[in-house]
Amino acid sequence: MKRLLGPVLAILLLLGIGVAGYRSYSQKTSIESARLDAEKMETVRGLIGSEKEGFFNDPRLQAILRKNGLNVQFEKVGSRAIAQRTDLKSFDFAHPAGAPAALKIQQNIKAQQVFTPFFTPMVLASWTQLLPTLEREGLVKKEADNYYLVDMPRFVELMDKGVRWKDLKDNTAYAVSKSVLISSTDVRRSNSGAMYLALASYVANGNNVVQSEAELQKVLPLMSSIFLKQGFQESSSAGPFEDYVSMGMGKAPMVMIYESQFLEYLGRQAGKPNPSMVLIYPKPTLFTKHVFVGISARGVKLGQLLESDPELQALAVEYGFRTNAQAPFLKAIADKKWPVPAVLVDVIDPPSFEVLEHMIAEIEKKYTQ
């Protein structure tokens, strides 16, 4: 027995040494492989609008990009503020909200390539308690399970006249002395503020896109008023929406937001979201294109992936964005029971880049007068 035990122990010892050696070799190989993979990875740096922060932080997006050799780093900045940066050429990409800001970036730095991975309509975040008052005033109407601001011209007129919430007929839900206003971001810094200006100026100009200096001067007093009356405004779209969610109707009875912000919020709720929250769709409304500006070759590669990769497109829909392929968004509406219309037909275009910039510049002067 003793004669057998010695060889057996020797064999076991050799096996142990072999296994340990194999494990050590495997670990070294894995570390070396990871090091080589890291060396192959390209870091892509960019600037994004705050409304896309959740999308870019999603581990699934990061994993897909790593499979394609990209490691993405980003800063969130107000979309119009991105266009005003003087250091854009030190980044690989810029991903603002809104075609006007993207066009300005493209022109300023002669960008290599531009992509439009997704878009979202401008909407109003409001409260169910306000709906009866707004409906009695003939401002809001329910159509096919969705609410629409059907008399946008009259709403603009109420803001122009300085009507207060307590002045609205039988308004017991929000009988306060605050002026009837739509809260927005700072038109000088943020695309959502600029899109609100585009929409309000269209209505104030007799349902026509502002095109000439004469038309601009005609609508300018009202446009200046609806922004200056708001007081302090955030420079990015995340701010007003966070106030809406956390502070309620007292702070934010009606807020101009991106539809995608509301849908992303719904997706984050483990339990039931606040049932008093409601979306109201202006008639007309306009779409905000989330345009991706490729500044370097690495940035262009990222833009191509965001626009064409099916997994990334599906992930964008999870964050409430609409894509050029309608089927994923329609499926999300059905599966998640999102309270949104599948299709919007009453959609306008913003003014030309030059006219919109001129309007914003004229309003900016009013802030210091």
Torsion sign, CA atoms 261, 263, 268, 269: positive
pLDDT category, 29, cuts 50, 70, 90? very low
Average pLDDT of every residue of the chain = 88
- Angle separating helix axes 238-247 and 259-268, nearest 10 degrees: 50
So what CATH class is 42-367?
Answer: alpha beta
pLDDT in tens, 286-325: 999 999 999 999 999 999 999 999 999 999 999 999 998 8
The whole-number pLDDT of residue 79 equals 82
Cα distances from 94 to residues 107, 129, 174, in angstroms, run: 13, 40, 41
Q: 360: closest CA among 232, 207, 233, 196?
A: 196
* Spatial distance between the Cα atoms of 167 and 182, rounded to a whole number of angstroms: 16
The whole-number pLDDT of residue 217 equals 94
pLDDT higher than threshold 50 for residue 65? yes
pLDDT in tens, 203-259: 999 999 999 999 999 999 999 999 999 888 887 788 889 999 989 998 889 999 999
pTM, to two decimals: 0.84
* Spatial distance between the Cα atoms of 18 and 173, rounded to a whole number of angstroms: 78
pLDDT category, 75, cuts 50, 70, 90? very high
